């Protein structure tokens, strides 16, 4: 697995989770929210965000539609599908398991 892949994989989960928490959101809103949640340790630019959104849409986890945003601009909104919700559950479980395993390696003393 390359670094990019990890980032892509976790970004996808962050995106899905963000939309799950906030409801339908446009790209900018998602980016801001992720940056905020990460305490501004992450910087989300176009190049990482939009390919990821498109991929999620193509995989059927998200759907999109155009709408006007709060400040009256047209924006493309992304919405979670039912498959998307299931995907979050599964990915969350996997992620927890993986981090747990990794944690055992990183701090063997506690095991």
| DSSP letters for 100-111 | HHHHHHH-GGG-
Task: Considering the complex, state which of residue 89 and residue 110 has its C-beta at the smaller distance from other proteins.
Answer: 89
Residue from 6, 21, 22, 43 in contact with other proteins (CB under 8 A)? 43
Residue 11 Cβ vs other proteins, minimum distance, rounded to whole Å: 14
Instruction: Look at residue 76 and give its three-state secondary structure.
Output: strand
The two three-digit tokens of residue 66, written as one number: 């155009």
71 binds other proteins (CB under 8 A): yes
* Phi and psi, residue 106, nearest 5°: -75, -35
Residue from 15, 16, 25, 27 in contact with other proteins (CB under 8 A)? 27
74 binds other proteins (CB under 8 A): yes
Give the separation between CA 107 and CA 111, rounded to whole angstroms: 8
Give the separation between CA 11 and CA 66, rounded to whole angstroms: 23
67 binds other proteins (CB under 8 A): no
Q: CB under 8 A: which stretch of 1-9, 12-20, 41-49, 102-110 binds other proteins?
A: 41-49
CB count within 10 Å of CB 36 equals 11
Chain positions contacting other proteins, by CB under 8 A: 26-29, 31-32, 43, 45-47, 50-51, 54-55, 58, 63, 69, 71, 73-76, 83, 94, 97-98
């Amino acid at each position: 697995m390359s670094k990019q892949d990890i980032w892509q994989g976790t970004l996808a989960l962050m995106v899905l989770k963000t939309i799950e928490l906030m409801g339908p959101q446009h790209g900018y809103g998602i980016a801001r929210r992720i940056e905020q949640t990460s305490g501004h340790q992450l910087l989300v630019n176009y190049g990482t965000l939009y390919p990821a959104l498109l991929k999620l849409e193509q995989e059927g986890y998200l759907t999109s539609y155009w709408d006007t945003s709060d400040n009256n601009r047209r924006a493309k909104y992304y919405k979670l599908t039912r498959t998307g919700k299931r995907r979050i559950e599964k990915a969350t479980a996997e992620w927890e398991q993986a981090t747990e395993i990794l944690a055992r390696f990183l701090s063997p003393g506690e095991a």
